[in-house]
Amino acid sequence: MAEITAQVGSSISALTQEFSIVTNNMANVSTAGFKRRCTDFVKSLMELQNQTGQEQTGTVDLKSAIDFSQGAMTQTGQSLDFSIFGKGFFTIETPEGQRYTRDGVFHLNSSGQIVDSSERIVAGQAGPITIPASSSLSELSVSGDGTISAGGSAVGKFQIADFGDNEGKLVPSGFNCFTMPDENIKPAAAANASVRQGYQESSNVRIVDELVDMIMVTRLYEANMKLVGAQTEAAKNILSVAAG
């Protein structure tokens, strides 16, 4: 890899992307079930630029990943708020295929089916979960395995998906959901998850950590811009000397 002075342009571009990642995390600090995106770019670039007494060489890539760690659980008491304790995702049916989310803030559509905030059907193991019109929301209950009952009678069971070691391959697909781009990877039924009613899973964004990252990104951006200015001035001087 070229010396760091030869990769300033790419560093500035990557810092701009990093800034966007951090601001998006911060914007979703209150979004139920949101999973933060994180990178090691800032740390790697700082280590590279802090090298002393040696040639500053190395590769700094903006490799990001989704942090799927569980957010805090907040009790709401709402009949159609559900949370997964442990590994797993609610499955959402969309025209583009199944999507997966940790956001269990649901409601009923006009047909009595459980849907997400975008009116997309929440998948049950036997199809959409429909709450009978004769049952009130206060009569709803859920067992740990995701079975929904209304008035004491089972009406469906959440399709909870677990990708195991392949979880890190999920990518954001909008509306606080994820998709699996590799069609050969299929989810298994979650074996160690427990579904609870009346809880919302909070975003796993830690605002203090994001603020620290933003400060670091800003400082590195300013340092790189100064280096660009110095390189530009040096190039002008060389051209001036060459031109006589």
Per-residue pLDDT tens digits for 106-163? 999 999 999 999 999 999 999 999 999 999 999 999 999 999 999 899 999 999 999 9
pLDDT at 232 over 60: no
Taking the C-alpha atoms of residue 181 and residue 164, their distance in angstroms, rounded to an integer, is 15
Q: 115 has which bridge partners?
A: 107, 121
Domain tally, the chain:
2
Across the range 86-108, mean pLDDT stands at: 97
pLDDT > 70 fraction of the chain, expressed in percent and rounded: 77
Tell whether 197 and 208 lie within a shared domain.
Answer: no
pTM: 0.80
Same domain, yes or no, for 159 and 219? Answer: no
Whether 191 and 146 share a structural domain: yes
Domain final residue pick, 184, 201, 218: 201
Task: Give strand pairing partners of 3.
Answer: 57
Q: What is the pLDDT, as a whole number, of residue 52? A: 47
Q: What percent of the chain has a predicted confidence (pLDDT) above 90?
A: 65
Q: In the predicted model, is pLDDT for residue 32 greater than 80?
A: yes
In terms of domains, do 117 and 47 share one? no
The b-or-e profile of 123-151 (16+ CB within 10 A means b, else e) is: bbeeebbbbeeebeeeebebeeebbbbbe
Q: How far is CA 83 from the centre of its chain?
A: 17
- What DSSP string describes 8-65? HHHHHHHHHHHHHHHHHHHHTTTSTT---EEESHHHHHHHHHT--SS--B------EE
pLDDT averaged over every residue in the chain? 85
- 231 with 184, same domain: the answer is no
In this structure, the answer to whether residues 149 and 223 fall within a common structural domain is no
Scanning the structure block, which residue is given the tokens 């009116």? 119
Domain identity same for 41 and 81 = no
pLDDT tens for 53-84 read 444 444 455 567 899 999 999 999 999 999 99
**Higher local confidence (pLDDT), 157 or 2:** 157
| Residue 117 sits in the same domain as residue 158 | yes
Closest CA to 117 of 198, 196, 176: 176
Within this chain, do residues 183 and 118 fall inside the same structural domain, yes or no?
yes
Distances (CA, A) of 73 to 2, 89, 96, 112, 200: 47, 15, 30, 27, 6
Q: Which residue has 């001035």 as its token pair?
A: 233
- Give pLDDT, residue 16: 83
Mean pLDDT computed over 97-111 = 97
Q: Which residue has the higher pLDDT, 2 or 241?
A: 241
Measured in residues, the chain has a length of 244
Tens digits of per-residue pLDDT, 155-194?
999 999 999 999 999 999 999 999 999 999 999 999 889 9
Domain of 144? 73-201
Structure confidence at residue 57 (pLDDT): 44
Give 218 or 206, the one with higher predicted confidence.
206
Strand 89-94 relative to strand 82-85, pairing: unpaired
Give the pLDDT band of residue 91 (cuts 50, 70, 90).
very high
